[in-house]
Amino acid sequence: MNNVILRTITAVVVPIIALFSIQLFFAGHYYPGGGFIGGLMAAGAIVLLLIVFDIRTVRKMIPINYQWLIGTGLLFAVGTSAGSLLFNVPFLTHAYRYVHLPLLGKTSLHTAVLFDTGVYLVVVGITLVIIETIGESD
């Protein structure tokens, strides 16, 4: 089957969806958004690839073991929270600081972002594990 139009549009649209997902993720603290919806959106971009191409091609494009992605995400979340154990403050106590970065100017860096990164990775991983497992089983 020749899906030239579909494939070309996908090639243009997937980067936009990916950017929107990243935008949602980083906006999470001040605007609606965050790790969960950002992760779903990123998974949505990959699902679009899966619809247009087949599973094997997409695996070749994005060679990631999604089970490990879930594990990594959980490690991020637990690691960020458990970092507080080292300083003998209650679990999940976060820290933040304002720093002056080149280009971005005054920016707040908050450890909650690392926790959210974990959420993001787990959501991407779980969604794709579900979809690929169902897609592969006959």
25-33, 41-49, 81-89, 127-135 -> range binding another protein (CB under 8 A) = 81-89
In angstroms, rounded to a whole number, what is the distance separating the alpha carbons of residues 16 and 31?
19
Under rule CB under 8 A, residue 129 binds another protein: no
3-state secondary structure (DSSP) of residue 99: strand
Pairing of strands 105-110, 96-101: antiparallel
Query: Which position among 78, 114, 126, 131 is part of the footprint of another protein (CB under 8 A)?
Result: 78
For residue 107, give Cα distances in angstroms to 13, 35, 103, 110, 134. 30, 19, 10, 10, 42
18-26, 36-44, 45-53, 70-78 -> range binding another protein (CB under 8 A) = 70-78
Q: Which residues here bind another protein, judged by CB under 8 A?
A: 67-68, 70-71, 74-75, 78, 82, 84-85, 88-94
